[in-house]
Homo-oligomer: A and B are copies of this chain.
């Protein structure tokens, strides 16, 4: 079900899209400085105020950052699922050491019904199935299970992922010009099955935090289904609002 096209497209919206295209195409790399408001206004043949609105909207959505007196710059995208940090339960400022991702495996699997619906695919459509663990000082704290449509991300394999380094999202942005943002996150408390228990070296009755996340493009098209299971005895997962 495609979204309704608005009958009226403001100028700043068109400018916004043209700037996004240039970032996605790599013409403007991460942390590169954009032309000034006045130069952009001249190039797009609009007033400075209109260019400004486009730039501020893009800043709000995480595409750019601006510094008074310095300029406007391309914001580097999240290289991995990052919005959230580990903290001591009940405390709100005591951060844990960060976790490091480690790729376990990449395979192709047919889509189940739930995931197919979430990703708006036909049932049985092929998916990349990525397994990844997160370690903190040698201790495995979390497991990720990532599902991506093969159709959209052809040629994705273990070698490419390993070579890429710098996280899955960084690779997708470079290779496929797709920037992924979270659409929904679901939280549950769960017990691990045998496989996950082994990976995490967890006790049979140790409760885990399950986070199921649907990631999508800027346009809102869902392209990533992901579950993270986190050992939350020692650390909470904290999100800013």
Residue ranges of A at the interface with B (Cβ–Cβ < 8 Å): 83, 87, 89-92, 114-115, 117-118, 181-191, 205, 207-212, 214, 230, 232, 236-241
Residues of B within 8 A of A183 (CB): 92, 241
Asked if A184 contacts B238 (CB within 8 A), the reply is yes
Considering residues A89, A91, A241, which has the most beta carbons from chain B within 10 angstroms of its beta carbon? A241
Say yes or no: A190-B117 contact (C-beta < 8 A), given A212-B89, A241-B183.
no
Closest 3 CB pairs of A and B: A189-B189, A186-B236, A207-B207
Residues in chain B near residue A185, CB distance under 8 A: 238-239, 241
**Closest residue of B by beta carbon distance from A222:** B92
**Chain B residues positioned under 8 Å from A114 (CB to CB):** 90-91
Interface contacts beyond A183-B241, A212-B236: sample of 12 additional A-B pairs, CB < 8 Å, sorted by A: A90-B114, A90-B186, A90-B212, A91-B117, A92-B214, A187-B232, A189-B190, A189-B208, A189-B209, A189-B232, A190-B232, A239-B239
Once bound together, how far apart are the Cα atoms of A114 and B236, in whole Å? 14
A87 to B212, CA, bound (A): 12
Q: How many copies does the complex hold?
A: 2
Which residues of B are found within 8 Å of A83, using beta-carbon distances?
Answer: 241
Bound together, the chains give a CA A80 to CA B185 distance in angstroms of 21
Complex CA distance for A92 and B186, rounded to whole angstroms: 8
- Interface hub of A92, A115, A184, A238 (most chain B Cβ within 10 A): A92
A112: nearest residue on chain B (CB-CB)?
B90
Do residues B207 and A189 form an inter-chain contact, with CB atoms below 8 A? yes
CB within 8 Å for A207 and B184 given contacts A118-B90, A212-B89: no
A212 CB contacts on chain B under 8 angstroms: 89-90, 236
A240 to B183, alpha carbons, bound, how many Å?
7
In the assembled complex, how far is the CB of residue A11 from the closest CB belonging to chain B, in whole angstroms?
17
